[in-house]
Amino acid sequence: MKLSQLKVGQRAKVVRVKSSQELSRRLRAMGLIKEEVITVEKVAPLGDPIEIRVKGTKLSLRKKEAENVEVEVI
């Protein structure tokens, strides 16, 4: 399942990040690494951007970026 498909309040574990090397590096630097637990906090009315919580920090991702993150719902 992709991060972009999660609903508000759902928790998931990052399985992998599939994107260009630059975007992948940026997402890992923000804490989106394998096995990290994330929570979807908010989704904008049109579905973009998505606000998530990672390691106690809130991040906003574009839907296009979130589509590159594969997650497993927990």
Cis omega before residue 45 (within 30°)? Answer: no
Write down the pLDDT at residue 54. Answer: 93
Residue 73: which of 48, 27, 29, 38 has the closest Cα? 38
Structural domains for the chain = 3-73 (2.30.30.90)
Write down the pLDDT at residue 46. Answer: 86
Write down the pLDDT at residue 61. Answer: 93
- How confident is the model over 10-61, as pLDDT tens digits? 999 999 988 888 888 988 888 889 999 999 999 998 888 999 999 899 999 9
Q: Are 6 and 71 in contact (CB under 8 A)?
A: yes
Q: pLDDT-based confidence at 7, cuts 50/70/90?
A: very high
Angle, CA of 32, 65 and 48, to the nearest 5°? 115
Write down the pLDDT at residue 59. Answer: 93
Task: Please determine, for residue 8, whether its predicted confidence score (pLDDT) is greater than 90.
Answer: yes
